[in-house]
Structure 1
Amino acid sequence: MTLTTLSILEQTQEAVAYLASQLPEGLQKPQVAIVCGSGLSGLADTVQAGSRAEYDYASIPHFPRPTVAGHAGKLVFGLLGQKIPAVFMVGRAHYYEGNSMDQVTFPIRVFKLLGVNTVVLTNAAGGLNPDYNVGDIMLLNDASGKSFGLESFYSCLLTTFQHIFLAGLAGVHPLRGPNIEEFGTRFPPLSDAYDLDLRRHVHQTWKEIIPSQNTRKLHEGVYAFVGGPTYETRAESRMLRMMGADVVGMSTVPEIVVARHCGLRVLAFSLVTNNAVLTPVPRGDEELLQGKDASELNAIIEEGKAGHEEVLEAGRTAALDMQKLVTQTLVKVFSRT
């Protein structure tokens, strides 16, 4: 069956039926789903030994398959912290790979029908806020960002954002089309998208597990979604910063929209893997360029240029802190239930 011959609900039900038929007892009703972003697949290694079941996306009906390095493409089920049934999504399919918004967000609806009540999303993002360093972690939050410049002119634009979803505002939206009442209401609010209780526990856990001498910082801020796959131009980065964005990336927001439509609690993290370049390039007639050879000019234009390998490397170096933070936060939260 193809996307055109089955409804989204029917596709989701088929995927869930397959997983239910395969999963061992004790793992069939996960409470939490964790989406592992670029370079963060090690989060799935936090499950308890002996309580692990893996399924390639290719084996699950209708499940979208990633094509990007660093996204393995498998669901890992297991016990987190010895007693919390969890499912880890190791790699995600992106819109820029040619997937529709329905395909990109399909796993979230699968999690809903599996019985998940909390979704934790992680991603690699470029830092727009000059106070953010590579390796820092940002919680997505309903916080107002600071503008890059022209504060007085743009102050009227800097209302409180959880995220900036320009594609969604333009109509490229995961809830476009007939509403699926089995998942949620026609007009879901997003002003409460990022769970305050979960974020409170993240900060408490950070203070407990991260040594004071660690230079890595935990922020709360605004994530801007862009379609990709190109990294942003300097002008685009400045525009996003002026709008209040602290980081920019190519995932997560469509998944958050669908998760909230499904009534799931949401916690989302961005790992800052590169600093976006905000400074304009020199004009071609500037005096400082005169007398420089081609290699020197190339070095000027390429300063700060982002690359996918850089993203993966930053993910590797920060992985242990991220793993401890996510795992211990969830153990703290679910130990109360």
Structure 2
Amino acid sequence: MSVDPRFPQALLDDEAVAGARVLTSLAGRPDALVVLGSGLAGALDEAWGAPVGAVPLGDIPGVVAPVADGHGRELRAYETNGGVVLVATGRTHLYEGLGARPVTALSRAGVAAGISRAVLTNANGCLKPWNLGDVMAITDHVNLSGASPFDGPLFLDVSAVWDAQMTGALRGVCQREGTYAILRGPEYQTMAETRILAGLGVDCVGMSTVMEAITLHALGVRVAGMSVVSDLSFADAPTDPSAVVEAASAARQTVVAGIEAALGT
């Protein structure tokens, strides 16, 4: 895809370039970036073995170390299928009050380092009668966070953020597919909000991923996403953060298969 030069000018600043130097020091120029959401930090340990390099996320310029439960705090580099894949074992969220810049810092550094593909994962609150541990291939999103990676008159077409070929590969692995909505958080949605979101056609809701996806898309990176059903938003019981992490952990095998399928396209 062609890239409007205004977006690299706005996003690939000195901070991103400095971050890229850290990333390339791990194993050379990377081909892809994977971001692991809640409860998924060690998902690739068994499948891909020991990383060839690693660095604390907080040591990368512009990146803030994750603080949410269930998130790792390390960036790892793996050599797989003849290429280098960077894997973030956790992420920063808008609800931490830092704004979109730190949330997208790793994505921007990854692009400056050379990535051309990305797979983003998260845990969600599900608005459908699905099962805990189901994995949804993200086919579209709704940005209800009130935030954007950009400031000023930078008008980006976001009608096709999620790469069709990579998402097609996920369909052969994931139990579900659908639309993901981002809310800023950190509070979960009310029952009234849940009904409204479901009426709008949203399948799952969370507090991450969309800022990264928009940023990567603006910079010409092919993006795919998976969202793990870790809370049933229509359930009578209150949402338990530890249960969210536990449900996401149970989906690791599917998530790993999805990552490998998407990166194989």
Is TM more than 0.5 here?
Answer: yes
Checking the alignment, whether the CA contact within 8 Å between 1:36 and 1:123 is kept in structure 2 is yes
**Aligned residue for 1:269?**
226
- Residue 323 of structure 1 is matched in structure 2 by 256
Q: Aligned pair 1:89/2:88, yes or no?
A: yes
User: What does the per-residue CA deviation read over 1:157-184, in whole Å, with 9 as the maximum and x for residues that have no partner?
Assistant: xxxxx2111234xxx2111247xxxxxx
Query: Offset of 1:47 from its aligned partner?
Result: 6.2
The amino acid that maps onto 1:139 is A
SS at structure 2 position matched to 1:42: coil
Give the letter for the 2:77 counterpart: F
- 2:133 corresponds in structure 1 to 135
One-letter code aligned to 1:256: A
* 3-state secondary structure, aligned to 2:230: strand
Look up the match of 2:19.
Answer: 15
Instruction: Identify the match of residue 190 of structure 1 among 158, 161, 169.
Output: 158
2:186 corresponds to 1:221: no
Output the CA distance in 2 between the equivalents of 1:101 and 1:219.
29
Unaligned runs of 5+ in 2: 1-10
**Shift, 1:243, TM fit:** 0.9
**How many residue pairs were aligned?**
255
Closer/same/farther in 2, CA of residues 173 and 241 from structure 1, 3 Å limit: same
For the residues of structure 2 that align with 1:61 and 1:329, how far apart are their CA atoms? 28
Q: Under a length normalisation based on structure 2, what TM-score does the superposition of the two structures give?
A: 0.90
Whether the 8 Å CA contact 2:51–2:76 is kept in 1: the answer is: no
The residue that corresponds to 1:157 in the other structure is none
SS of corresponding position for 2:124: strand
CA spacing shift, 1:126–1:50, aligned 2, 3 Å: closer
Q: Please give the secondary structure, in 2, of the residue aligned with 1:38.
A: coil
1:19 CA drift (Å)? 3.3
Contact kept in structure 1, 2:138 and 2:167, CA below 8 Å: no
Using a 3 Å threshold, how does the CA distance of structure 1 residues 115 and 305 change in structure 2: closer, same or farther?
Answer: same
Q: Aligned partners of 2:241 and 2:159: how far apart in 1?
A: 32
Structure 1 contact 44–76 (Cα < 8 Å) conserved: no
Larger CA Rg, structure 1 vs 2: 1
TM-score with structure 1 setting the length: 0.71
Matched, 1:174 2:149: yes
CA contact (8 A) 2:40 2:248 kept: yes
Bigger mean CA offset, 313-322 vs 114-123:
313-322
Instruction: Write the deviation string for residues 217-266 of structure 1: whole angstroms up to 9, x where unpaired.
Output: 61111111101111111011111111110000000111111111111101
Cα root mean square deviation, aligned: 1.9
- Structure 1 Cα separation of the partners of residues 201 and 208 of structure 2: 18
Aligned to 2:7: none
Displacement over 3 Å in runs of 4+: 46-51
Q: Deviations over 1:53-98 (max 9, x none)?
A: 11002222221111111112111001134x2310001100001112
Checking the alignment, whether the CA contact within 8 Å between 2:167 and 2:225 is kept in structure 1 is: no
Q: Distance in 2 between matches of 1:112 and 1:46?
A: 27
Looking at structure 1, the residues matched to 36 and 188 of structure 2 have their Cα atoms a distance apart, in angstroms, of 21
Query: In the alignment, what sits opposite 1:158?
Result: none
Which residue of structure 2 aligns with residue 114 of structure 1? 113
- How far did residue 188 of structure 1 move? 1.9
Gaps of 5+ in 1: 1-6, 142-161, 179-185, 207-216, 279-302
Greater strand percent: which structure?
2
* Native 8 Å contact 2:224 2:262 kept in 1: no
Distance 1:86 1:238, change over 3 A: same
